[in-house]
Structures are given as C-alpha cells and as structure tokens.
Structure 1
Amino acid sequence: MTALLARLLVPVRLGASEARRLSAGTLPKLAILAMALIPTLYAGLYLFANHDPYGHLDEVPAALVVLDEGTTTTDSVSGETSERTFGEDVAEDLLDDGGFGWVETSQRDAEAGVRSGRFDAALVIGESFSADLVSSGEFEPRQASLTLVTNDANNYLAGTIADTIVGQVRDAVAQEVGTEAADEFLRGFASIHTNLADAVDGADRLLDGTQDLTDGVRSADDGAHTLADGATQAADGAAALDAQVAPLADATSRLDDGARQLDDGLGDLEDATASLPASTRQLAAGAQEVADGNDQVADLGRQAADAAGQVLPALDAARDDVVAAVADGLDDLVADGTLTRDQADALAADVADRVTPALDDERAQVQDAVGQVEDASGKLDTLADGAQQVADGAATLAASTPQLTDGIASAADGAGRLADGTSELAASTPTLLDGVSRLADGTTQVASGAGDLADGTSRLVDGAGDLGDGTSALRDGLAEGLGQVPDVDDDTRSATADTLGDPVEVRDQALSSAGTYGGGLAPFFLSLATWIGAYVLFLLVRPLSTRALAAGRSGLAAALGGWFVPAAIGVVQVAVMLGVTTFALDITPAHGLATALFLVLVSGTFVAVLQALNVWLGAAGQFLGLVLMLVQLVTAGGTFPWQTIPEPLRALHQFLPMTYAVEGLRQLLYGGSVATAAGAAGVLAGVLVVALGLTALAARRQRVWSVTRLQPELVL
C-alpha cells in the first residue's frame, strides 16, 4: 500500500520540482503570471469588443434619401380620396428607431458619402414609391422598390446589416399596405353583403311581380283568344254585309230613276191640269170630247196610281237601308280607326237630323199625293164609268177642279223633293259601299292581328313562366351567395385585416439563449483562449522532466509530472478568464460550477495534446500546435454552423478537440442539454487520456539519449 502511494506521489513530486524551477527568481514568477493572464486578455478583449455591436448600430452613419412624390388613394366603399406619402412614413420610422444613425440628405450627397466612407450605407426611396404601393388596387400592379447603396470597401458587415434592416423596413411597409388593402377589401365585402341583401329583397319583389305578370299574361291570353274569335266573327259579318250591300247601288239608282220619272210625270200632270178649272168650265160643252178621251185619262190615272203605290214601299225600304247602312258603315269606320265613336255618333245624329225628317216629311206629302192620285184615279174611273154623268156633274167638277190642281201641284212638289232625296242617297251610296268594303278588309286584318296577338300571348305565357323560373333561380342564387359573403363587425374586420397584412407571427421560443452577440461568441473565444493559454505555457514549461528521465522514472510518471505544472497553471488561467467573463463582461453561465469544471477539463486536455506534440516532435510539434489551432479555428463551428464549412475541412470537424470544447461550453453557458455537455466532456477526457498515453510512450523512449536529442537541429 505504501509502495502504491509512493508511486502515485511521484508525478506530484516531479511537478513540484518543475514548479520550484520555474518560480526561482522574479522574472520567472512574472512570466508565469503573464502566461496565466494571456487567455483572459485574449478572450476578454475579444468578448468585450464584440459584447453588443447591434446595440450600437445607431452610431453607424447611414444616409436616407426620400424622393417619393406621394399618391392619391380612393376609398372603394365611401369614394373619398386622400393623399398618401408612404416614403415619408418610412423615413419617420427610420429616423425614430431605424437601427442605423440615419441622416436625411440628397441623393447626390448620399452616393458621394457612401463612396467616400462618410456613410456606411444609403437608402433611396424612389419617386413612385407610394404610387407603386397602391398600384395593385388599380389593377396595374407594380412592385415598389427601395434602393440600398452599399460599399464593401467601407465595411462588409455594415452592408449585410443594412440588407437586414431594409428587409425589415420592407416587411413593415408590406404589412402596413397589406393590412390597409385587406381592410378595404373586407369593407368592400361588407358593402357587397349589404348590396346583395338588397338584391335578394329586390329579387323577392321581382319574383312576386313575375307571378303577378304571369297571372295577368294568362288573363290577357284568354282575352286575346276571345278577341281573335270575336274578330273572326266580325270579319265574317263584315264580309257578309259587304256582299249584301253590293246590290244597294242598283236599287238606289233605280229608286232615283223612278223618283225622277214620278217627278216628271207629276210635273206633266200639273202642267196638264193647270188649265183644268177653265177646261171643266168648258166640260159641259166638251162632255162628248171628255167621254171620248176618258179611256185615255182613266188609263193614265191607273198608271199614276200604280206608280204612286210603288213609291211609298220603295221609299220606306230605302230609308231603312240607308239608316242601317250608315250606322254599320260608321261602326266600321270607328273600328278601323277612321272615326272616333263620338265623331260617328255625331255624324249619325246629323244624318238622322237631316235625312230622316226630310224623308218622313216627303213621305207624308208623297202619301198624300198618292192618296190624291188614287182618288183621282178613282174619280177618273168613275168618270170613265159615268161618262154619261159628266155633263150632269160638270158644275160639281168645276167646283172641285181647283182642289185637284192643288193636290197635283203638292204631289209634284213632293215628287221633286223625293227625287232630290233619292239623288243624294244615290250619290252617298258609293261612299257607303266603299266604307263597307274597307270595313270588311279592316275586320279581316283585325282578325289576322287578333290571331297573331293570341299566338303572341301564348308565347308570352310561356315566357312569363320561364321568367318566373329564372327569377326564382336568381333569388335562390343571390340568397346562396349572400350566405357565402362574409358579414363581419368592425372589430373582426380590423383583426382579420391585421392578420391578412401580417399572416405569420414569429414567436421566439429559445430553448437556450446567449443574450448578446458577445455571449454567443463566448464558447468559441473561451475555447480558443484556452488553447492559446496552453500553447504559450510550453514556451516556458518543459514538456518532460529531464531529471525524471535520467532517474529512470516510468514513462507515465514522467508524462504526468510534465503535465501537472502546465495543467495547474491552466486552472489559474481558467479561473481568471471565467471570473472576468462573468463579472466584468456580464456573461453569466447557466451552470456555473459545471462550466468551471468543464473549462478545467478543456485546459487539461489542450495541455496534454500540446505536451504530446512537443514531446514527440519537439520544435516541429510546437509549430504544429500553432497550425492545429488555426485548423480548429475554422472547423470548430464557433461562428458559422460547421455544416457551412467546405470540404475537406468539414471532415476534420468531428476529430479535433476544440469542436467538443465549443459544443460543451454552449450547452453549459446557455442552459442547454447537460447530457450533450457530458458527452463532449467524455470525448475530451478520452483525448486527454490518449494524449497522456502518447506522452508516456514518448517519455519511455526518451530515457535513452541520442545525439539528436543532445544536439537538436532546431531549437525554439
């Protein structure tokens, strides 16, 4: 047991001996102190310089140029117009809190400033910026553009950050414009909903109207068919009337001829009897002459009586025919629109007032004259029969002759008036016949039109039915469309517009957070500083104790003895570096103790690796340690993700210890997975053991001295 304990204490005694050698004198002590502070200086300065660069972007000068001329927008619902200048809004937001230290200036000054380095970037808002933003609402879409002027000769990252800021500005403008457009769109929906509801009500009323129209059209169809039947009957009646009145012209002509003959005969009779009173006075003397001529006189009287008997029936029939024909003709003229009913009634009344009384008066006179003629004929017959009594009644005849002559004169006057009436009747008959003919033609046309009207009303009934079906379908379609058009209140519309304008919300759910940019780089810089700290130690500390090798100590004891002193100094390096990082730079580890222990493991591992390189390769190994630091600088993934590293460097990522140092520190500093940190610690512990094993193997070999070791080719 004592022997085992003595063996375990050998590396400690060797390390203590090396520590006494290093601390002999003031300068060596200062050198050890400087080496203990080098990692702190490296990591502290880097982390301090990069602690929060994004929090000081307002000190980075950037130019802002606003050329926007604005635009006029029209509210699609209210129709109101307003002037909008989105470029000014963007400028105000940037000047208030826009990341950089924005300075509003002219375009020429901005470009010159970026070129000279006075400005790190410039943002130019073009003249048509506002007009382009609202162009989609006018269905002439144009993308509004912002011009970002950068100069990598000034600062590359400044241009990259400017791209990010402008992207945020673009998103903010797009959100605002999109929200306004969505709000107007939704308000348009509300207007559509209201108008569509009115359209549904109108369609209901239209449907009721079409139903009433259908009923009315059906009634009109029934009336049209009834009218067509009546018009056909009227046309048949008019045709029959036209056929019946055709002989009227001949009858009236014959009546006129007879009336004129009667007038002539009675005129002759009047002339002949004008001297009758005187003659009757001579009758007594000329009784024999009368007896001789009584046959002729009696025959003439019978002819006159027969003619007079024919006049009255013909006159009555003509009067009735004239009145009926005039009435029918006037009705036909009213039917075809030639006369109005009032005009026809007035004309009928005028005809009745003018013709009928005159005919009645003339008939009465003619009837009187006929009676007188018949009396005269009887007397002539009596005269003829009583020719022998003429002489006896000559005195009586002489007394009666004036009355006979007066009757004949009256009959002659009546016959004249009858002749005038029959002439007028004969003259009017062609007009009457023409009216009856037009009446027949008009009623035929009316019958044809009534038939067409009946056919049209039948089609109209069918069309009204189709109209009712279409109106019903329209009403149902409008009602269905009304149910599909959203009808939202103002709050819902505003919330919906906000969501449409900014549909995606990015919620930060950080499983662990570095806090600041410097905190994000801390794992990388702490690991790198630990490697540098381990590297500079071997500029002063010997990797192996020569006395231990000369004394024949085991390779493992010699390796541990050489590792113990730099590892102890590494603990001091880690303590100082972690203290400054935590308390001076305010980068507080989530797992403080674990972070400290992990950094001690990292330092010990890096010391072991660099010790092995120095033991095996000497000065070349020390140079290789520097090269290995550079390789790990780009393969550890301390800044950009290691997947972005090009081949073949990416293949080295999994095989170098700094990779696991960075990974473990990220988990412990930010409060990530302790298991992942434990895995990284396991890998580093394995590297530590392997490195110490290799050093022990080299120490065992170096117990035999060679000329090369006594006289090395290169000494650093």
Structure 2
Amino acid sequence: MKMAKQEWINLFRNKILLISVIAITFIPILYSSIFDKSVWDPYGRAKDLPVAVVNEDKPTELLGQKMNVGQQVVDNLKKDHQLDWHFVSKEEAEKGMKDLKYYMIVTITEDFSKNAASIINKTPEKMEIVYTTNDSLNYIANEISTVGATALETQVREQVVTAYATAVVEAGEKLVGALGQAADGANQLAGGGSQLQTGLKQYTDGVSQADDGSNQLADGTGQLANSIGPLASGVSQLDSGANQLSSALNQANSALAPVQNNITGIDAGLTQLAAGTQDLANALTTFENNLDPNVKVILDNDLQNIRNEINSIITNKDKLLGISGEATAVADQATVASNSLSGANLEIQKIQTDIDSYVAGLLANTTIPEDEKANIVSSITNKVDTILNEQIASATAQINTSLVTVESELATLSARAAELSASANDVSNITNAMAASAQQLSASEASIQAGVNTFDSLLNQVPGSSNAVGLTNGLYAISSDLNLVATKLPTALTGINQLTTGSEQLSSGLDQLQSQIPTLSSGVNQLNTGADQLQAGLAELNENSPELMSGIGQLEGGAKELASALDEGVNESSTLKITKKNIDQFAAPTSLKNDEYSKVANYGEALAPYIMSLALFVGSMLFNFIYPIRKISIAGQSSGAWWLSKVSLGFGVSSMMAVIQASVMLLIGLHVDNVFQFFLTAFVSAWSYMAITMFLAMTFDNPGRFVAMILLVLQLGGAGGTFPIQLQAPFFSMIHPYLPMSYSVYAFREAISGGIGAPLFTKSILILAVLMIVFVALLRYSMHILQKKHLQNVSELNDNQKLQGLEN
C-alpha cells in the first residue's frame, strides 16, 4: 500500500503528468459526446434535406372527367414537410444536382395521369415516379431520400386507390339498382315464358294445320301448272281461226258493197217496169216464151243462194260474237288466276319472312318485359293463324274456282274454235259464192237489160201474149225478192262489219292472251315452287316445334333461376353500406403498429452504447500510451507492491473516465432506462479495458500498445455497434463473441433502452468482469517476470518515463 500511495503522490506532484492524466479522463466524454451529439437526430431533421420535384405530367380525361394526378401530388407535397421539397423545372433540377444543391430529384412522368386513367383499359399501365439520387454526395442522405420517395409512392398509391374505390362504389350503387330492375325483368320474363309456352302450343297446332293446307295447295298448283299447256295450245288455235275469220269477212264485205248498189238500182227499175207493163201481160207471155230459160234459172238460184247465205252470215255473226265474249271471259279468268297466283306467292313468302323474323327475334332477346313478351307471343300466334288460314283458304278457293272456270272455258273454246274454223271455211265459201253470184248477177243484169230491150221490140210486134201475166207475176216476185235483198243486205253488211270488228277484237284479245300465257305459266310455276317451299318450310317448322317448346321450357326455368339469384343478390347488396371509412379501408387495408419492446428515441441514443464503449477503450489505451507504466515509485519494493501501485492508479483513472462520461451523457440529454445499470456498465467496461491495455503496455511495451490498437480496430468492425452483426462480413461475425466491446455494447443498450434482457446484461457484465480479473492476474504475473529481469524501469517511451522523473 505504501508504494501505491506513493504512486498517487508522484502523480499529483508531476503537474504535466497530472494534466495529461486529467485530460485523458475527459477523452471518452469528449469523443462520445461530440460525435454522438453531431448525429443525435439526423432523421428528425430530414425536413431540411433539399429534394427537387419536377412535374412533367399532362392532364387527361377519364369517363368525361378531367384528371391531373401530377398536380394533385405537387399540391400534397407542398403541405408535406418530411423533406425540403423544391418544385423546379427539369433543367433547374439537373443543374442543382450537378452543383450538389439537391440530394435527390423526384420526377413525375408526363404520362402519369394517362396511366392512372388506363385502369379501365385491357392492358393498364403503371403510374411511374422516377427519383434520381447522388449516393457519392452522402449515402445516408440517399437512404433518407429513398425513404421519402417510398413514402411519397405509398401516399400516391393510397390516393389513387381511394379515387378508384370511390368510382367503383358509385358504379356498384348503380349496378345494384340495375340488378333490381333486372330481377323485376327476370320475373316478368319467367311469367312471359309461361305465356309464351302456351302461345307456342297454339302456334305449333296452327303450323301443323298450315302444313296440311300447304300440301293441298301444292297439289292444286301442280294441277294448275299441268293445265297451262292445253290452254296455250287452244288459244293458239283459236287465234289462228280468228285471223282466218277476219280475213274472210273483209273479203265478203268488199264483195257485197257493189252488189248492194246494183240491187238498189235493179229494184227501182223493176218497180217501174212492173208499173208500166201492167197492160203488157199478154205481151209478156210472148216475152216469156221468147226469154232465155237459163237466165231465169240463174236468177232464181242466185236469189235463193243469197237468202241462204245471208241467213248463214247472220247465224255465224252471233256465233262469232259469242266466241269473242267467251274468249274475253277466258282471258279475264286467266288474268284473275295469274293475279291470284302471284298474290298467293307473295303472301306465302311474306308468311315465311314473318315467321323467321319473329321466331329469331324471340329466341335472341331474353330481356324483354313480360307485357311486351306476351304481345309478341299473341302477335305471332294471331298472325300465323290469320295469314295461314285466310290466305290458304282464299288461295285454294280462288285457284279451284279459276281451275274449274278455265277448264270449262277451255272446253267451250275448243269446241267453239272447231266450229269457228268450220264457219270460217263456210264463210269463205259463201263469200266466194256470193262473189260469183254477184258476177253472175251482174251478167244477168246485162241479160235483163237485153231482155227489156227485146221486150220493147217485141212489145211493138206482139201486143199480147199468153205468158204476160205469168211474166208480170214473176217480175213482181223478182221485185219483191230484190226489195227483200236490198232490205237485208245493209243489215248483213252491218253484221259483217260488226263481225269483222269483233273478229279483230277477238284476234287482238287472243294475241294478248297468248302473250300472257308465258307469264301465266311462269306465275303458276313460281306458285308451285313457292307452295313446295312453303310445304317444306312448314314441315321443317313442324318437326322443330318440339325443340322450340323444349327451348321455351328451358328459357322459363332459366328465367326463374335468374330472377331468384338476382333477388338474392339485390337483398344482399342492400345490406352493404359503403362509407368513406370503408373506402379508406379499401385504399389502405393495413396499418403499421409499432409495438415497442424497447424504445430508442433517436439515432444518437441508438449510437450511444457503441460510442461510449469505444470512447472508454480509447481513453484506457491513451492512458497506457502516455503514462510511464513501467516506472516504479519506490525502489526495492516487491513486484506485488509495484503491481498494486499501477493497478490502483489505472483503476482510479478508468473509474474517473466512467463517472465523467456517464454523468455528462446524462446531462446532454441521453435518456437512460436504468441509471444503475448504466453506471455499472461504464465502470466494468472501463476497468476491463484498462486491465487489457495495461497488461499489453506493461508486458510488451510498444508492441503491446500496437496490439491494443489492432484490438481497437477489430472492435470497431466486430462489436456490432452500428449495424446488426448478421449484416456484416463473416469474419466480423466470427470474432464478435470474443471482443470485449461486444458485451459492453450489449450492457449499455440494456441500461439505456432495455430490450436486451437481464440475462444478456448479466452475462455481459460477468464476461467483462472476468476479463478484468484475468488480465489483472496476468498483469501481476508479467510484472513479476519484468522485475526478475530488471525491466521495471526500462521502456521505449523514455520521454514519457522522464516526465515523472522531472518532477522527482
């Protein structure tokens, strides 16, 4: 103890050494307080970190509403003070980055709003925020900027999701209303499906009846088509006979015109002759005897033939007029038949079109309300029944009537055509005979005139005759016949003219009828084809009616199921109430809750355990660098006394370091969870470090001090004071359990903020205490060896050793 006391006395007597030791005791607090306070709360001052913001976004439209998301982000950043935002142009930002004015550039791209609106597109694009950092300017600043950019991206995401969610909610509310309407429509559709099924049953029955009627229609049109050929042949023959009749009548008319004029003159002459020759009855006998008998015979025959021919002409005129009327009737019937066939064909096509259109529309449209569906069903049923029944019945009746009429008229026309042909030949013969008779009559006129002349001469010669009375009677008879002929000839000529006109009309009508025969034939063929198509279509429709009924049944079942599901969906939707809180929940469904097992207020507090441990080790190392550790205070003392003197001084100085450091750290604002543990850790750490460095300096002198420096460097990387040891290189992870400072850091952390746990704290304190005891024991042994070798006053730090000698 005497030597230890002397060691302290020598220290206080040596002012220079005392000042050095006092300064060394403040080294830990200077180191830890200045360094730790400089980085006390860098994240809390992130609002002073300059960051440039460049907004290149261009507004766009979404569903008719203007969107300018980039400007909204800028407006929000102006209210945010997490970083020092500077809103500049792209050029200013790049220049500021180059001049080290900005630590980061945040760029809102020009298609920011456009990509936000692309959510409704098939391939939406992500909104992109580009941030540019300068790591070499300061990496920690880059980390802070990156955290700020990440927070900005999160904020923008939440805002955009909120906008999307709001739009979805509004659309959902409209959808719920639409679902309600759809449910009502589905119920109506289900009811309409039942009515439709009933109506279609009636419709299929009507289709079956229409199918049967179409078979009869097809048979009738086939018969009609077969009758067209004979009709065309008969009309052709009739037209040919009518042309011959017209030609013969023209010839007869031309021949009878001069006969009429001659007969009129003859009749007048005969009348005068009969009146003037009454008294010549006797002379007539002589004239009769002298008259040429052939003339008398010719004259009698011609008159008789004229009577017969006129009667024949009159009879034939009536027949021709009848034939003309019948031909006209046949033409009219043919026209009616053609029109009926064309109309029936059009109606059939219209029926097919209506059926196809209504059935296709009915099957395609499943959202028609009940009342409209019922109207459609009723319309289909009524239309099909009405059109098919009326048109088929009407067409069948008209066609049958036309067929009967045409067949009857054709038969009559055929017979009349034969008669007309014979009559035409008769008229031709009669005309020829009349022409010959006219010529004979003309010749007889000359003979009569000659006879008159002869009669005049004979009258002078023969004043009487036994045949005069008979001749006078004959002349009167001839005059009467000629009067009759003269009277009848105009009527005959008029009849011939009428007959000629009628034959020309008949010929013209037959030409028109013949020209319409192809059209009638084509129409009948089209009618026949349409009837076949109608029959095939109705047969196919009749065959597919069961499938249609089955489909309607499925439609009704599906409509009921749909209505039930929609009602259920509407009921469930009505219980769902979306508020702003729900939208916020949708936009940010999660939140971070920091359940602090232990709390560290700031970066300085987190770094304090490491800085304080490091400062104590540095202070201990500096003491053994400066203080003459091998110098003995009293000569001739034992190695034990020498050891005790050095240990007492070393532990006294290290204790002062611990007290000063711990006290000042509390004064500058370090929050400590357990003050006792805090001071205990400071003392044990300082004692352990002093024992280790003193052993190295005392035992190995300067090489030992160098080893102490190496140990300091290793502990800087391996103590785990800044980053988790798991994140460091494997070498430092390997040496971490063997470094004293590792346990000092653990103990300080538990004392300052807790969370390490009492077991680890106790373990750390025990390990440090054990190290202290071990190295103090090793120091005792090494000083004993040094004394034996007489090296107690020998040191490479001669100047430091002389410091104490100067005071002595």
Matched, 1:436 2:517: yes
Which of structures 1 and 2 has the larger relative contact order (alpha carbons within 8 angstroms, sep 6+)?
Answer: 2
**What is the CA deviation profile of residues 450-502 of structure 1, one whole-angstrom value per residue up to 9, with x for unaligned ones?**
54566678789999989x979979x9999999999998999859778767766
Aligned to 2:62: 75
In 1, distance between residues paired with 2:323 and 2:187? Answer: 66
Per-residue deviation, 1:259: 5.7
Aligned to 2:506: 425
Matched, 1:300 2:300: no
Superposition map of 1:96-107 within 5 A: 96-103=79-86
Aligned to 1:165: 148
In 2, distance between residues paired with 1:307 and 1:260? Answer: 16
In 2, distance between residues paired with 1:552 and 1:251? Answer: 177
Matched, 1:611 2:694: yes
Superposition map of 1:129-278 within 5 A: 130=112, 134=116, 136=118, 144=128, 146=130, 148=132, 150=134, 152=136, 155=138, 157-177=140-160, 179-180=162-163, 222=210, 225=214, 231-253=221-243, 255-256=245-246, 274=264, 275=266, 278=271
Superposition map of 1:319-398 within 5 A: 319-331=324-336, 334=339
Count of residue pairs brought into register by the alignment? 642
**What is the CA deviation profile of residues 581-609 of structure 1, one whole-angstrom value per residue up to 9, with x for unaligned ones?**
23x23322233333333333322322322
Per-residue deviation, 1:632: 1.0
**What is the CA deviation profile of residues 515-547 of structure 1, one whole-angstrom value per residue up to 9, with x for unaligned ones?**
101011011012112223433454677879968
Change (3 A) 1:621 1:249: same
Change (3 A) 1:479 1:533: farther
TM-score (norm 2): 0.63
Change (3 A) 1:550 1:114: farther
In 2, distance between residues paired with 1:426 and 1:73? Answer: 86
Amino acid at match of 1:161: I
In 2, distance between residues paired with 1:520 and 1:246? Answer: 127
SS in 1 for 2:722: coil
Amino acid at match of 2:232: D
In 2, distance between residues paired with 1:448 and 1:63? Answer: 89
Amino acid at match of 2:606: G
Aligned to 2:594: 508
In 1, distance between residues paired with 2:576 and 2:73? Answer: 27
Matched, 1:48 2:132: no
Amino acid at match of 2:657: Q
Change (3 A) 1:241 1:591: farther
Aligned to 2:662: 578
Identity %: 19
Structure 1 vs Structure 2 CA RMSD = 5.7
Q: Which moved more, 1:482-491 or 1:103-112?
A: 482-491
Asked if the contact 2:21/2:627 (under 8 Å) is kept, the reply is: no
Structure 2: gaps (5+ residues): 347-468, 801-808
Q: Which moved more, 1:406-415 or 1:123-132?
A: 123-132
Asked if the contact 1:39/1:533 (under 8 Å) is kept, the reply is: yes
Aligned to 1:683: 767
Asked if the contact 2:184/2:563 (under 8 Å) is kept, the reply is: no
Structure 1: gaps (5+ residues): 1-11, 341-388
In 2, distance between residues paired with 1:199 and 1:269? Answer: 100
Per-residue deviation, 1:657: 0.8
Asked if the contact 1:133/1:177 (under 8 Å) is kept, the reply is: no
Amino acid at match of 1:128: E
In 2, distance between residues paired with 1:459 and 1:197? Answer: 40
Residue 123 of structure 1: which of 84, 92, 105 is its match?
Answer: 105
In 2, distance between residues paired with 1:462 and 1:699? Answer: 123
Amino acid at match of 1:429: L
In 1, distance between residues paired with 2:179 and 2:230? Answer: 62
Amino acid at match of 2:40: H
Aligned to 1:367: none
Amino acid at match of 2:152: V
In 1, distance between residues paired with 2:575 and 2:112? Answer: 29
In 1, distance between residues paired with 2:139 and 2:709? Answer: 28
SS in 1 for 2:721: coil
Aligned to 1:350: none
Amino acid at match of 1:328: Q
Aligned to 2:383: none
Amino acid at match of 2:712: M
**What is the CA deviation profile of residues 634-687 of structure 1, one whole-angstrom value per residue up to 9, with x for unaligned ones?**
221211233344454443222111012112322342221333323333433332
Matched, 1:519 2:616: no
Change (3 A) 1:460 1:244: same
In 2, distance between residues paired with 1:620 and 1:641? Answer: 32
Matched, 1:531 2:617: yes
In 2, distance between residues paired with 1:480 and 1:145? Answer: 48
Asked if the contact 1:115/1:151 (under 8 Å) is kept, the reply is: no
In 1, distance between residues paired with 2:177 and 2:150? Answer: 40
SS in 1 for 2:720: coil
Q: Which moved more, 1:481-490 or 1:608-617?
A: 481-490
Per-residue deviation, 1:633: 1.6
TM-score (norm 1): 0.69
Asked if the contact 2:109/2:128 (under 8 Å) is kept, the reply is: no
Asked if the contact 2:51/2:86 (under 8 Å) is kept, the reply is: yes
**What is the CA deviation profile of residues 332-354 of structure 1, one whole-angstrom value per residue up to 9, with x for unaligned ones?**
5645879x9xxxxxxxxxxxxxx
Asked if the contact 1:98/1:165 (under 8 Å) is kept, the reply is: no
SS in 1 for 2:59: strand
Change (3 A) 1:460 1:34: farther
Amino acid at match of 1:639: T
Change (3 A) 1:91 1:596: same
Superposition map of 1:447-462 within 5 A: 447-452=528-533
